[in-house]
Amino acid sequence: MRIVLLGAPGSGKGTQAHRLAERSGIPQISTGDLLRAAVTRGSGLGLAAKEAMEGGRLVDDALVLGMIRERLAEPDARAGFILDGFPRNLVQAAELDGLLGELKQPLDAVVQFEVDREELMRRISGRRTCADCGRVFNVLTSPPPSGAAAICPKTGAAHRLVQRADDNEATVAERLRVYEEKTRPLIAFYQSRGLLRVIDAAGEVDAVTQRLARALGLAARAGRNRRARPAVRRAVRAKAAARVVKGRRAATRGAARRKPAGKKPPPRRAPKTRRGAAPKRGGTRRRGRR
Residue among 19, 50, 71, 88 flagged as catalytic:
88
Amino acid at 231: A
Residue among 2, 19, 36, 127 flagged as catalytic:
127
Amino acid at 227: R
- Is 211 among the residues known to form the active site? no
Other beta carbons within 10 Å of 70: 10
Residue among 122, 164, 182, 197 flagged as catalytic:
164
- Is 269 among the residues known to form the active site? no
User: How far apart are the C-alpha atoms of 163 and 184, rounded to whole Å?
Assistant: 26
Largest CA distance in the chain: 155
Residue among 36, 50, 175, 211 flagged as catalytic:
175
- Is 88 among the residues known to form the active site? yes
Among 8, 190, 201, smallest CA distance to 108 is for 190
Helices (H), 55-185: 61-72, 90-103, 117-125, 169-178
- Is 23 among the residues known to form the active site? no
User: How far apart are the C-alpha atoms of 61 and 91, rounded to whole Å?
Assistant: 8
Among 268, 269, 279, 275, smallest CA distance to 289 is for 275
- Is 13 among the residues known to form the active site? yes
Contacts with 186 (C-beta within 8 Å, 6 or more apart), sequence order: 6, 87, 88, 89, 90, 93, 110
- Which residues are known to be catalytic? 13, 88, 127, 164, 175
